[in-house]
Amino acid sequence: MPARAGRTSLRGIPAGVSLGLVLIRGIWYFLHNMKAALIFGSPSDKGVMKKAAEVFRELGVEFSSHILSAHRTPELLRETVAALEAGGTEVIVAGAGLAAHLPGVIASLTLIPVIGVPIAAGGLGGLDALLSMVQMPRPVPVAVVGLDNAANAAYLACRILALKYPPLREALAAHWEGIKARFVGDNEGVEL
């Protein structure tokens, strides 16, 4: 019997089962206190996106990671965003290259703030990804960091979370003080 439109997802999962999976995944994120999510468009983006993971780990932010493409796996992306919402995720960092619609599509599915990382992949050196992310129509904003700068996306995500979580604010401040101290150290006895 042919599937009725709206009752079955393109992956062939009945709508009810799909909702169940969304809830189970949401509970998982909730139980693991995952306030941030990293989503990127391809395994080939891993090298760039792991810089964001390093920042989250250093600052003690629990996060979930997902390889999802706005073009290749749109249904799974929609389900995952629903599960992240259900699980209490409060900020999403999304990286992609080429026609990088991933952060914009995520921002169209949720009110969770989205930070885009344009990735320099392909012949245009990342300008394609940057423009795809930064030129969002109102009222669907995506905050965009520099090319391949996933670390800064995570720092921005931490600043957003720090508005609500004082221990994270303290961790961010201490981290920055450490960076300043190293910088001052580097400036002592500079010889060329």
Residues near ligand AIR (CB under 6 A) are 41-42, 44-45, 69-72, 96-100, 119, 121
Q: 45 or 85, CB closer to ligand AIR?
A: 45
Considering the complex, what minimum distance in angstroms separates the CB of residue 109 from ligand AIR? 16
Give per-residue burial for 152-173: e unless 16+ CB within 10 Å, then b.
Answer: bbbbbbbebbbeebeebeebbe
Q: 42 or 108, CB closer to ligand AIR?
A: 42
Residue, CB closest to ligand AIR: 41
For residues 161 and 78, give the distance between their C-alpha atoms in angstroms, rounded to a whole number: 23
Q: Residues 54, 119, 102, 161: is their CA dihedral positive or negative?
A: positive
For residues 78 and 83, give the distance between their C-alpha atoms in angstroms, rounded to a whole number: 9
Considering the complex, what minimum distance in angstroms separates the CB of residue 105 from ligand AIR? 10
Considering the complex, what minimum distance in angstroms separates the CB of residue 45 from ligand AIR? 5
Considering the complex, what minimum distance in angstroms separates the CB of residue 137 from ligand AIR? 19
Q: 124 or 163, CB closer to ligand AIR?
A: 124
For residues 129 and 96, give the distance between their C-alpha atoms in angstroms, rounded to a whole number: 7
| Nearest by Cα to 142 from 179, 93, 97 | 93
Q: 45 or 90, CB closer to ligand AIR?
A: 45
